[in-house]
């Protein structure tokens, strides 16, 4: 069983997965906030590799990527930062990168270096499962999970393919759009989750747009975990170097997940 899979062992425990863009607003901020996220109740932290064309991300994470790139953050530096973080925390680390930097780095080299740094899995949002064989082999060789995404428009054959290839968990995109804070969850989310559960045995975690404890509590009734990114990035932009607002937000999310609606 992988470190990521072990997060989902307890049937009543809902996973809280936090996303941060590595190097935003600074490398020092990343090194400080990730241990705080773990301490405050996160089960997994997703380390976002900044990229010049983050097509799945909304304005908040696009801006974070832009400034992180200006700060000189590269894929290699992200791996080095993960190595430093692994000395401070025990929870799983997942690296999220678009495929272009992965291709340039080399799939086997990336997976070998990532595993050596203490990274537990990869999310590549623009890599379709039909074209993932090289990276899948490299992740298997290095005991990493490769987490694929499904969207509300995914048909039965795509769901079946992702269920065959994804490990750790499956990332369910809540909307047919980009990441970002939203006032409400889309209708039909429960039906989407139910469709995937008919085929997939992996845990299902929902991301894109989750920004309040109320939304987290609602999702806890249908999914195995939530992924929150844009709201965390926004809170990290405050002048508070101790990230008190981030800590408070994570504690609220943890409480919401641990106390789902009773009806």
> Which residues are identified as catalytic?
46, 57
Instruction: Quote the radius of gyration of the chain (alpha carbons, Å).
Output: 17
Contact in structure between 39 and 53 (CB atoms under 8 Å)? no
Cite the DSSP H helix spans in the chain. 3-6, 27-40, 59-70, 75-86, 99-105, 107-117, 133-141, 156-165, 189-197, 213-219, 230-236, 244-258
Q: Which of 51, 76, 75 is nearest to 63 (CA)?
A: 51
N residues, the chain: 263
Cα distances from 82 to residues 147, 175, 204, in angstroms, run: 18, 29, 25
Contact in structure between 147 and 167 (CB atoms under 8 Å)? yes
Contact in structure between 61 and 230 (CB atoms under 8 Å)? yes
């Amino acid at each position: 069983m992988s470190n990521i899979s072990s997060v989902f062992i307890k049937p009543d425990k809902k996973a809280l997965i936090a996303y941060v863009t590595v190097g935003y607003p600074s490398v020092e901020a990343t090194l400080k906030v990730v241990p705080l996220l773990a301490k405050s109740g996160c089960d997994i932290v997703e380390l976002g590799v900044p990229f010049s064309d983050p097509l799945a991300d909304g304005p908040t994470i696009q801006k974070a990527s832009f400034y992180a790139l200006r700060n000189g953050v590269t894929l290699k530096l992200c791996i080095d930062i993960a190595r430093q973080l692994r000395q401070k925390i025990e929870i799983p680390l997942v690296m999220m990168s678009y495929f272009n930097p992965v291709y340039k780095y080399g799939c086997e080299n990336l997976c070998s270096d990532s595993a050596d740094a203490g990274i537990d899995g990869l999310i590549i949002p623009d890599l379709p499962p039909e074209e993932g064989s090289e990276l899948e082999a490299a992740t298997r060789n290095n005991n990493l999970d490769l987490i694929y995404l499904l969207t509300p428009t995914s048909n039965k054959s795509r769901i079946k393919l992702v269920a065959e290839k994804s490990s750790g968990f499956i990332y369910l995109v809540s909307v047919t759009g980009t990441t970002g804070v939203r006032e409400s969850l889309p209708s039909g989310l429960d039906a989407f989750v139910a469709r995937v559960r008919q085929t997939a045995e992996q845990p299902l975690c929902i991301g894109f747009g989750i920004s309040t404890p109320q939304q987290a509590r609602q999702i806890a009734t249908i999914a195995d975990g939530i992924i929150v990114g844009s709201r965390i990035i926004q809170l990290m932009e405050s002048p508070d170097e101790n990230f008190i607002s981030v800590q408070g937000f994570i504690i609220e999310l943890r409480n919401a997940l641990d106390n789902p609606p009773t009806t």
